Amino acid sequence: MITRGFTSQRSKSPRPLPPGQYYEEGFPVLSAGPTPKITPEQWEFTLEDRQGQVTRWSWTEFMSLPQDDIKTDIHCVDKWSKLDTRWKGVSIDVLLSEAGELQLEDYVMAFSYGGYSTNLALDDITEGKAWVAWEFGGKPLEPEHGGPARLLVPQRYFWKSAKWLKGLRFMSDDQPGFWEQAGYHMRGDPKSEERYWGD
Ligand SMILES: Nc1nc2c(c(=O)[nH]1)N[C@H]1C(S)=C(S)[C@@H](COP(=O)(O)O)O[C@H]1N2
Ligand SMILES: [Mo]
C-alpha cells in the first residue's frame, strides 16, 4: 500500500493559462545558486555592444528614468503561472533610447550578478515587452526574487527574466545562456510550450 503524506490542492485559475500550466497564488523562489548581496549603491546596469561600447547607469541614474507600472501574468517552465503580478521598472525601450551610440544586434545575452545568463531576441524585449524591474507588489524587489533589479519578460518563460540583472550584451547570433545550454528552449514562448530543446 502506498501512503501519500501530503497532497497539495491546486486552485482553479480564474482565467485560461498557457498550455500545461497550473495556477499558483504564492510566489515560489527558483534560483540556481546563492542570492548575491548587491546594494543599490553597488548596483550598476550596462548595455554593451559588439564593438566594446558600453553605456552604464548607476542606481540613481536608473531611478531618474521614466518608470512604468506593469500588471502582467508570469509563467514558469516548472509549470506554475501567477496572474496579475504588479511591478515597477524601466522599459528596455527607454534604456535603448537613452543609450546613445550603441550598435544594436538581433540578439542579447542578459547577464547577472552571480553569473547567471539568458539569451533573448531583441524583438522579444522591445516595443513594450520587457523591463528592468525593481518593485514588486508595491515594495522594493526582495533579494531572493532578484533585487535590487531583475529583467521582466512576461511573454517568455520566467527563466528568461534574469534576477540580479547586471546588463545586456548584444550578439549577432543567438547563443545559449545558462539554462539554454542545459537543454531549455532558445526562445521559451509559453503560448507554444517551448520548454526544452526540440519543443
Ligand atoms: N540570476 C538568476 N536569475 C534567474 C534564475 C537564477 O537562478 N538566477 N532563475 C530563473 C528561473 S528558472 C525562474 S523560474 C525565475 C524565478 O524567479 P523567482 O525566484 O522570483 O520566482 O527566475 C529566473 N531568473
Ligand atoms: Mo524556472
Q: How far apart are CA 185 and CA 164, in angstroms?
A: 22
Q: How far apart are CA 184 and CA 77, in angstroms?
A: 9
2 vs 48, which has greater pLDDT? 48
Q: Which ligand 1 atom minimizes the distance to the CA of 77?
A: 14
pTM: 0.95
- How many whole angstroms from its chain centre is CA 78? 15
Whether the CB of 171 sits within 6 Å of ligand 1: no
pLDDT digits (tens, 9 = 90+) for 26-85: 999 999 999 999 999 999 999 999 999 999 999 999 999 999 999 999 999 999 999 999
Q: Is the predicted pLDDT of residue 7 greater than 80, yes or no?
A: no
Q: Please compute the mean of the pLDDT values over residues 131-141 and round it to a whole number.
A: 98
**Set of cell numbers at residue 155:** 511573454
Q: Is the predicted pLDDT of residue 87 greater than 90, yes or no?
A: yes
Q: What is the pLDDT of residue 8?
A: 59
In which band, very low, low, confident or very high, does the pLDDT at 88 lie, cut at 50, 70 and 90? very high
Is residue 89 within 8 A of residue 149, CB to CB? The reply is yes
Helix (H) or strand (E) holding 95: helix 92-98
Ligand nearest to the CA of 36: 1
Q: What is the pLDDT of residue 100?
A: 85
Whether the CB of 195 sits within 6 Å of ligand 1: no
The amino acid sitting at 149 is A
Supply the residue whose CA is at minimum distance from atom 11 of ligand 1.
159
